[in-house]
Amino acid sequence: MTSPDAPLRFLSQLAATSSARWTTIGTEAFAGELGLTTDNSCYRFHHGTFVSRAKKPTCFFDAPKSMRGLLLIGFLHEDDVADRWTLSTVWRAGSHAVLWRIGGTDAASFIVTSPTVSYLLEAPTPRSDPDPSPWLARRSASQSGIMQRRIARPPSLRMPLPPSMTRLHPAASVPSER
């Protein structure tokens, strides 16, 4: 049985030689939307970058300031026979997720979760026309110079203005009796 701080010591030793590679792992190995569940929490990631966490039994997801910008670099497995740790991008039930603060090499730069019980990776859908925001105007192919804009919200309905209260309306002519 290893000591509780053994995984952090292992990771800080590994950081000296592997930290340059870890910065690209999120976009390669964990591309898309990723959800991890432990006995205590649920974690969400986007392309390997921490998005939010919900502690059980609440269903409220939050993004603690101390966890913003952390990268998922892999899963830590303990080999009971050889009594050693392995870091891999392949998930196994019971492995520990490893979150890393970019550039850090000391033990405080890592968060090791409790054993994971589920893993769900939804690969991103390929888009032929990447559009970072629906509010940005895109140039049309026409020569007129008119910009086309895609609106992501429903159109608003406006009530007509009431008739003016300051305008004088001529009185209708009424036939007089003779």
Q: Assign 42 a pLDDT band (cuts: 50, 70, 90).
A: very high
Torsion of CA 10, 15, 16, 21, to 10 degrees: 140
Is 48's pLDDT higher than 70?
yes
Pair 95, 75: CB distance under 8 Å: yes
Q: Which residues of 87-117 are buried (b: 16+ CB within 10 A; e: fewer)?
A: beeebeeebbbbbbbeeebebebbbbbeebe
Res. 161 pLDDT band, cuts 50 70 90? confident
Residue identified by tokens 């007129």 is 144
- pTM for the model: 0.64
Average pLDDT over residues 96-123: 89
Kindly report the length of the chain: 178
Q: pLDDT tens-digit profile of 78-93?
A: 877 667 788 888 999 9
What six digits make up the tokens of 171?
């009185």
**Res. 107 pLDDT band, cuts 50 70 90:** confident
Q: What is the DSSP string of 79-98?
A: ETTTTEEEEESS--TTPEEE
What pLDDT does residue 1 have? 47
Confidence of residue 138 (pLDDT cuts 50, 70, 90): very low
Confidence label for 126 from pLDDT (cuts 50, 70 and 90): low
pLDDT band at 136 (very low <50, low <70, confident <90, very high): very low
| DSSP classification of residue 31 | -
C-beta atoms surrounding 47 within 10 Å: 17
Q: 25 by DSSP, 3-state: which? A: helix
Give Cα separations from 41 to 31, 37, 103, 129 (angstroms). Answer: 21, 6, 26, 36
> Do 6 and 95 form a contact (C-beta atoms < 8 A)?
no
